[in-house]
Amino acid sequence: MRKQNSEFKTAFTSEADCDLKNTDYFGFVELDDYACYVVADGIDDQMDAVSAKLAVAAAISAFSEAPSMGKRTMRACLNAANQALIRETGSKKKLKASVMIVVTNYMKFRYGQAGNVRLRLYRNGFVKYQSTDQSLTLDLVKEEKVEPDKVSIHEERNNLYAFLGQEKEFHPYISKKMKLANTDAIALYTRGIWENIDEGELSDVYAEASNEPQELVDNVEELLLSRQPEDLGKYTFVTLFVNKVFTDPNKKRRIRRVIMIIAVVLVIAVVVAVVLTILHNRRVRKREQMEQNYLDTIEYIQIDNYTRAQECCDQALQLAESLRNRAMVKEIGDYKKLIESVLMAQEHMDGQRYVEAQKAYREAAARSVYVDNIGLDYINDRLALTADYISVYDLINLGDILALNLQYDKAEEKYLEAKAAAGKIYFDDGRKSAMEALEKLYEDQKAEKEAEEADRKEQQSQQESGANYVTQGDVAFAQGDYEGARVYYLSAQQLYSDMGDQTQQMAVEEKLQTTEEKLEEKELLKEEAEGYVQEAETAAEAKEYTTAKKYYLLAKDVYASLKMDDKVEEMTRKMERLDIKIDEQETAAEDDSADVPAEDSDSVSNVDSTEIPTDTSDETSEELSSVMVSE
């Protein structure tokens, strides 16, 4: 509908150079709602016209896929043209071109440019707008290093910083939308035109133009050829006559609709403004309350009232968070951390945890750096006081250690120092602890003395008991009661061991050793006596009663030396029984001797003679002699 209700006329000319090579190209497409006009100028004249043609075709194709006047569409067209040249570029062949793309919706237009193809908008015969080349020469003109009328002959006019065929840093220029009016004319032309025709002359041609664009194009070409430039190359000139722009029939309706929308928006804006005003006033009040609580926090810290400072700080922080004032939240948060550290230290002080309190005050001192050292004097005073409190308890603890090591005089000295230090700083709890430590020290000294006296008495008693055991052991030993002596000696040894009296213990051990030796001798004698008894019983069974009596006498003598009275009596009884048997045997022998010849009596005498054991004492020998005499 737009194209049918508007009138856009296009005319152009494009000629080759002296070598009959034309590396310029022009193409356009006019759709119902949008139109696109593209002029491309191949930068390398020695190459064929492939680059310009590829660029125009790629740009128009990209536009036709999504017709629009948006910047995104314009950028897509430029990028498509650039990529088309890059894809066709070989190892030896580099395709490059300048391009000018114009899109319109028959009411407005916009252009995109890469290089030095130029555009001019004429209105009522005068230049309304003109493009700027993307070349080093135009940059020098902006810096006022080159005169504007010298651009067409400046050596850097074709030194471009944006052109098609760039693989990196491709930054084309895209204009804003510009309104068109009836009888406007747009001129698009390559360097073959602007290098040889002055801008003023071109403006004169448009000022005298009729309604036919082809006539204007012919006039421009005639003007160019009349100059007969020696190095005239290829050139392209395009003109677009906007005889009639599209007028939207729904414009008034849209205007009314826009007015209604604006009215509604205004009402809403008024309501929003009222609401925002209320919210703003409320926010202002919150800000004022926050600032007041913030100032109160500082004042309470300055007068060392941290409990009230914490209340004001919490309120200020809550208001700052509701206002989303990050700066105040951070600043008030620093004050809050300082207050919490001080209150925690005070809590430790109240609980007599002075080491923890000292750590908390040090943390508070570090926190005060972030709030301009406010409250630092108070914190330092409390740190000094805490250090004094700790020193008092250090003295008390040192005294406790000395007391444990039984250094009571030095312990008393430390307790007295702690008491004096606590009194100097009015530390009642420390002074009380020092007094209690002193009282306990004195009680411990008294208890220790009593314990020492009791130990002394107990030791004396144990010494007496040990001496009694030794005496009784000596008496038993002297009486030959070695078992009893060993029992007494062992009791004395255990007692001296418990007492730690090594001298007495060693003396008792010597007596024990002697006693053990005697016991071993006694056991040997008992075994010897038992051997005699066994021999006696063997002889008695053989009816050798005299021999048996001799062995019983030997056993009796051993038992008597061992003072085993029961065994002595037993041996005596056994010998008495043997005496009876000997008498019976003698009587029987006398009866038999009366009937036996003399030589037989001699043989009997030989039979009665027995061997006397040699291992006997003198007493035993005497008894045996008396026995033999009686026989």
Decide which of 537 and 73 is more confident. 73
Q: Give CA separation, 123 vs 179, 199, 213, in Å.
A: 11, 15, 14
Least confident of 227-231, 318-322, 373-377: 227-231
Does some domain include residue 595? Answer: yes
Most confident of 151-155, 177-181, 253-257, 336-340: 177-181
pLDDT value for 594: 58
Residue 597 above 60 pLDDT? Answer: no
Task: Single out the residue of 183, 75, 185 nearest to residue 130, CA to CA.
Answer: 185
Residue 608 above 60 pLDDT? Answer: no
pLDDT value for 620: 41
Residue where a domain terminates, one of 213, 228, 247: 247
Is the pTM higher than 0.75? The answer reads no
Average pLDDT over residues 138-143: 85
Domain count, the chain: 2
pLDDT value for 460: 72
Sheet holding 184-189, edge to edge: 7-15, 235-244, 184-189, 118-123, 126-130
Does some domain include residue 152? Answer: yes
Task: Single out the residue of 97, 131, 128 nearest to residue 111, CA to CA.
Answer: 131
Task: Single out the residue of 293, 287, 289, 309 nearest to residue 368, CA to CA.
Answer: 309
- The CATH number for 85's domain is 3.60.40.10
What is the pLDDT confidence band of residue 623, given thresholds at 50, 70 and 90?
A: very low
Does some domain include residue 477? Answer: no
pLDDT value for 118: 94
Q: Is 238 left (phi over 0), alpha (psi -120 to 50) or beta?
A: beta
Type and span of the H or E element at 184: strand 184-189
Residue with tokens 């056993």: 555
Q: In this structure, what are the phi and psi dihedrals at residue 460, rounded to the nearest 5 degrees?
A: -65, -40
The domain in which residue 623 lies consists of 530-630
What is the pLDDT confidence band of residue 45, given thresholds at 50, 70 and 90?
A: low
Does some domain include residue 403? Answer: no
Strand ranges, E, within 300-385: none
Average pLDDT over residues 384-413: 80
Does some domain include residue 349? Answer: no
pLDDT value for 430: 74
pLDDT value for 127: 93
Q: Are 24 and 47 in contact (CB under 8 A)?
A: no
Rounded to 10 deg, the angle between the 482-499 and 428-478 helix axes is 160
pLDDT value for 629: 30
Does some domain include residue 591? Answer: yes
Residue where a domain terminates, one of 223, 247, 271: 247
pLDDT value for 625: 37
Mean pLDDT across the chain: 83
Does some domain include residue 150? Answer: yes
What is the pLDDT confidence band of residue 604, given thresholds at 50, 70 and 90?
A: very low
Residue where a domain terminates, one of 225, 247, 269: 247
What is the pLDDT confidence band of residue 615, given thresholds at 50, 70 and 90?
A: very low
Does some domain include residue 259? Answer: no
